[in-house]
Each structure stands twice: as C-alpha cells, then as structure tokens.
Amino acid sequence: MSDTITIRAATDADWPGVWAVLEPVFRAGETYTYPRDIREESARASWLGGEHTRVLVAVDAGPGDIVGTAKYLPNHPGAGAHVANASFAVAARAAGRGVGRALGQAVIDAARADGYRAIQFNAVVDTNVAAVRLWESLGFATLATVPEAFAHPTLGPVGLRIMHRFL
C-alpha cells in the first residue's frame, strides 16, 4: 500500500469525489457493465447500494482528494449471503500508485471482519489485464470466463471472468 494513500469508509459527503472517480470509468464502458450514459443519481443508488452495502474510498493524503473507491455487499441474499461481491474504481491520474491493491486488500480485510467467508467477482472484463493480474496477486482465481458476455466498445464481444477467493 502506498504510504500516501489512506483507505477509509465513505461518508455521504464523499459522493462528489466518488462520482468523479466513477464517471470516466463508466463513460468509457471498457471495464463495467453499467450503461455508459448512466445518470449520476442511478450511479449513486447503485454504488452506495442498500443496507448491506459497504463503501470505501482511497484518499490521497497530500491534497486530500478521493482517488479510488470500492464497495462490497452480499453476492446473493439468504443462503448465499456469506459470499461477498466487490467492485472497484481508481482515478486515472492515480494509476501506478497502488490504489487498487490497497483497496483490494482493505476489502479483503473488512469483508473477513464482517464475517464473509469468500469474495466473488461476477464480471471482470477479460481484456482488463491489469485488474486480472491484481486480483490474481491478491489470491483470487478465475473459476470461469463467460464467453462473449461483455460488449467492449472497441474490441467487440469479450469474456467476463468470474473470480473467487476464500477469506
């Protein structure tokens, strides 16, 4: 973890900074299945989620601005609620500073503390090589790749990896 990046729970006041990280990622449409033209209020409702959703932010200790965010929640309700699902986004300007790794490790630690037994990703875009490598380095394995499940804006249909690790 970078010594200048702090991970903490998000507050309502963080939303503008969180949205500033998410919006270019969602608009690009290369790594998420959100509609590329999603409205801010829909994105807010989706990212902040319901009562079981936990949201983290990565804060650059110098300027104090938000450079990344993550959320996790039960992947299924009821009898599947002991497996978490998680999502991540990092500001392009903060690339290479270990923000994604710090958020990933923070989610692993927090989900374990919350009592989850595993984390499952449902939709890691197969061409998002940096993400795949990061998750593998944090102990995730690809259980399967759903073929042609993601309509990449420039590469066409590519696979969506389902990745998993126990906690």
Interface residues with its own copies (CB under 8 A)?
A: 29, 32-36, 38, 75-83, 117-118, 120, 122-123, 143-153, 160, 162, 164, 166
Instruction: Give Cα separations from 107 to 87, 119, 129, 154 (angstroms).
Output: 10, 9, 20, 31
Least distance to its own copies, CB of residue 88, Å: 16
- Of 50 and 64, CB closest to its own copies: 50
Least distance to its own copies, CB of residue 25, Å: 12
Residue 158 neighbours by CB distance under 10 Å: 18
- Of 57 and 111, CB closest to its own copies: 111
The number of C-alpha atoms within 13 Å of 29 and in the hemisphere containing its C-beta is: 13
- Of 5 and 22, CB closest to its own copies: 22
- Of 130 and 143, CB closest to its own copies: 143
Least distance to its own copies, CB of residue 9, Å: 26
Least distance to its own copies, CB of residue 57, Å: 23
Do the beta carbons of residue 125 and residue 31 sit within 8 Å?
yes
Do the beta carbons of residue 158 and residue 120 sit within 8 Å?
no
Residue 164 neighbours by CB distance under 10 Å: 19
CA distance 36 to 100: 22
